[in-house]
Structure 1
């Protein structure tokens, strides 16, 4: 599989659909649920990732996590300044990461109008806290309908991520990974569906949760991918920059 750089397609089917694929032995890496609620765990996780030699990833910030005021970022706070000091990409990860029914798939069932309102609220809170715009829009659980791409483009995002695809919003062609692995801070990481692709060195998308460092073997898993299987890790913006 080949990167979208010159958009070398893997076959006639992909060409007709306008698809391309991330390079083999590449994992698009992001830290989900970056919020004051998980402040200590975010810091610990980033330290652990640095310790194993990972320097490119995307921080996914949720500005109003679970609709609790205590989880709102404050401009000039120690945590906000810490995140800005890291020289890592910061993208938007929903608004509250929760629906009225309690589901984490915040954007999956929204109309265009609802998604637009929520995205604009998210941007306002993000700008107030960080005094800069997020790079891209990554919905909770990577779950959102295609219309979210149009909404994200209309408010100035550079890319969206949905399911197994990354879509630069200046280009109509999405780029795909072969498998996605999303941890939610639970005792185990579900990798069974991705094992064949991992053995073949196929491109991956991996979402790390702040609690992983204490709940499961995610850090060891990433270490094995890097040191034993030859994977390199990239944040979304670094990937898009390389493919352009």
Structure 2
């Protein structure tokens, strides 16, 4: 989907492969997703003080009250999207850019929205370092999506709304899939497929994400 990743020699291949094996044992079945996880250097998406924990299967702080999602949930959400073979994917919550980098290797075009400008600036630089050219970034309120670039065959939400905003459902192409954590105290990962004017919803598994907030932060 993209040019070969650059700048991944800072950690051993063996370390990344151990993470891949843990994800396989945890239930990730897609060989393509596991291959991508093994290629994307998670450590560059963290501050240096935390980079030694990059290949643990855990979420880690990235500042501004946000987190880098645990590799399992990144792989799981990517696997769910990949099953529907979308070409154009909208990501809400660029964060560190790690999920964006993973998506860029699986799909033709990525459109990623981030409300916190300093996080977006860092993510943009990290993606540039990896020579990722099929991801377009926007500084905006993620809950509103990116309507002028829609419709999208796939939408992935990396922060939890209480309910999926109608604006996002309207940007989903017919037959497209939306993957999102939903809820407040008790969050669940949901899959929503658009069928014309109706939406099929399936609840998958308990998750824990930061809440989806409105308003841009400069």
Global fold match (TM > 0.5):
no
Q: Could you say which structure has the higher strand fraction?
A: 2
Tell which has more relative contact order, 1 or 2 (C-alpha 8 A, sep 6+): 1
Larger Rg: 1
